[in-house]
Amino acid sequence: MAYINENYLKLKAGYLFPEIARRFNSFSAANPDAAIIRLGIGDVVKGIPRVIVDAMKEATEEMAHDETFQGYPPDQGQDELRAAVVEHEFACRGVEVDVDEVFVSDGSKCDSANIQEIFGIDNTVALTDPVYPVYCDTNVMAGRTGPGDETGRYEGLVYLPCTAATGFLPPLPQSHVDLIYLCSPNNPTGAVMNRQALKEWVDYARAEKAVILFDAAYEGYITDPEIPHSIYEIDGARQVAIEFRSFSKNAGFTGIRCAFTIVPRELMGSTQTGESVEIYNLWLRRHTTKFNGVSYPVQCGATASYSPSGRQAVRGLIEFYLENAALMRTRLRQAGFTVYGGDNAPYLWLETPAGQDSWSFFDVLLQQAHVVGTPGAGFGAAGEGYFRLSAFNHRDAVEEAMDRIGNL
């Protein structure tokens, strides 16, 4: 008999986005003529910039010739891409990151999910609430939690409620924790952490010998010059933090997949007997053992995104979605909704109408307005009573969706 990992049985019946897809598909099948507008899953809609596509085409052509053929990619990614990441993401902001500390991957979702494998099962994990479900579910799968309750909270995890009263920023834990998941700009709330807030978390982690797992996948959407783009802009963060980045939402790579993770050499963990261990080496071993690498053409495309014309084109994509977000924020407020986010992030976080929980509001939007969003309850107990809308769609679709919601 092959025994299963019974921790999977603790998980709620469906991951948030498959449940949305199930309801969407069911409604679509019953209403084939409905023109449904999707503002739920954060998938981009604009084409990949031409300079990036041309670089991928050229790299693909190289694969057809013996003289320029590329086989297995380097374990941590192409040197040209990693050097461009260091120059344009960190050095330009006065942040110290070495090329060797950059790990290229096929998505920040994978890395933020897999990073927990290199940490012991006995670590106490802190999550914001609401939270990107991947952080929670992967720790459940690994066995760091007890069963979940009716609100979706799991025994053994420390939840940090992010509410309107806190500006949707997480409070520091009231007790010791070992691993801390933070996301800024935040998914789903759109909230951003300023320099002082990040400093408090870095100071806490240093005092408690904790590790911060910092998801900065949406940093390209930060418009406020006072908001850090990287946790490494904070003194001491290199001793306590791992940072995740992505090309998906910035450069439109959701269909071709590329990302990177930064693991500083100074970051240390401990064995049960108190021996210090360099976490970099653990992630290097995990990465080179389990990950096949990102294809050569895709990495060439990612590198091209850092060329002068590439940076200009990527900025244009980001500004388009931010303009969508601004339009949505204005129209939703005119319709009487209380709305947060959307200024330094591509997500808007709105309060559901009185008397409607988040899944009820999902059904109302789908059935009456033919608009798909994301129920806040899918992100955790503190997300109940809220709803996430994504700015990732074409302008005419966004305007039509706002008209429909305004007429509910």
Over residues 310-329, the mean pLDDT reads: 98
Q: What is the CATH number of the domain that holds 193?
A: 3.40.640.10
pLDDT for residue 195 is more than 90: yes
Tens digits of residue pLDDT in 22-43: 999 999 999 999 999 999 988 9
Tell me, what's the pLDDT at 16? 80
Q: Would 376 be classed as within a structural domain?
A: yes
pLDDT for residue 192 is more than 80: yes
Question: What is the C-alpha separation between 123 and 180, in angstroms, rounded?
Answer: 10
Over residues 311-327, the mean pLDDT reads: 98
Which residue range(s) make up the domain with 165?
54-307
Over residues 353-360, the mean pLDDT reads: 95
pLDDT for residue 19 is more than 90: no
Q: What kind and span of H or E run contains 59?
A: helix 50-62
Same domain, 88 and 226: yes
- Among 7-21, 202-216, 295-309, 334-348, whose mean pLDDT is lowest? 7-21
Q: Nearest CA to 153 among 166, 134, 136, 170?
A: 136
Tell me, what's the pLDDT at 269? 98
Tell me, what's the pLDDT at 268? 98
Same domain, 303 and 352: no
Tell me, what's the pLDDT at 13? 60
Residue at which a domain ends, from 307, 340, 362: 307
Q: Of how many residues is the chain composed?
A: 408
Tens digits of residue pLDDT in 218-252: 999 999 999 999 999 999 999 999 999 999 999 99
Same domain, 266 and 393: no
Q: Would 272 be classed as within a structural domain?
A: yes
Tokens, residue 234: 């904070």
Residue at which a domain ends, from 286, 307, 328: 307
Tell me, what's the pLDDT at 97? 98
pLDDT for residue 17 is more than 90: no
CB neighbours of 191 closer than 8 A, spacing ≥ 6? 162, 167, 168, 169, 184, 185, 340, 341, 345, 349
Q: What is the CATH number of the domain that holds 388?
A: 3.90.1150.10
Q: Would 59 be classed as within a structural domain?
A: yes
Q: What kind and span of H or E run contains 80?
A: helix 79-85
The overall average pLDDT reported for the chain is 96
Same domain, 184 and 253: yes
Same domain, 330 and 350: yes
Residue at which a domain ends, from 274, 307, 340: 307
Q: Nearest CA to 366 among 33, 24, 100?
A: 24
Tens digits of residue pLDDT in 75-119: 999 999 999 999 999 999 999 999 999 999 999 999 999 999 999
Structurally, the chain folds into a number of domains equal to: 2
SS3 category, 286: helix
Same domain, 178 and 31: no
Q: How confident is the model at residue 14 (pLDDT cuts 50, 70, 90)?
A: low
Same domain, 95 and 179: yes
CB atoms within 10 A of CB 257: 18
Q: Residue 246's beta-bridge partner residues?
A: 259
pTM, rounded to two decimals: 0.96
Over residues 48-62, the mean pLDDT reads: 98
Roughly how many angstroms between the first and final C-alpha of the chain, as a whole number? 55
Q: Would 88 be classed as within a structural domain?
A: yes
**pLDDT cut 90: percent of the chain above it:** 96
Q: Would 1 be classed as within a structural domain?
A: no
